[in-house]
Structures are given as structure tokens and as C-alpha cells.
Amino acid sequence: MDRIIRCECGFVARGDSDELVVDEIRAHMKQDHRELYDKVPVDEVKGWIELT
């Protein structure tokens, strides 16, 4: 089952594991939403995962 995280800007991170999708969305956050990258802990990001 794939995992996705949808960013409010429209970006969608996809992966086949929690680790991959979290890494992808964190890379996106670091590049495009630096303030969130610095403020939001990884454990919270894991809570954003949706199964597809």
C-alpha cells in the first residue's frame, strides 16, 4: 500500500514506506517551506501520512 502526504501548496509526496514519504515531504519542506521544516518535528509529520 502506498503512502502519501499532501502539502497545502499542492505538492504530493509519495512512497511505499513511512520513511520514504516522510523523507520526501521533509525535503520539500526544507526547500519550499523552511519555516515549517524548522518548526514541525518528524513525529508530527508521520501523523500526516495517508494510505492509498
Distances (CA, A) of 29 to 1, 9, 13, 18: 24, 10, 11, 16
How many structural domains is the chain composed of?
1
pLDDT in tens, 1-52: 899 999 999 999 999 999 999 999 999 999 999 999 999 999 999 999 999 9
Q: Which helix (H) or strand (E) holds 20?
A: helix 18-32
Residue 36: the pLDDT is 94
Residue 12: the pLDDT is 98
Q: Which helix (H) or strand (E) holds 14?
A: strand 12-15
Q: Cell triple for residue 4? A: 502519501
Residue 37: the pLDDT is 96
Range of 12's domain? 3-51
Residue 30: the pLDDT is 97
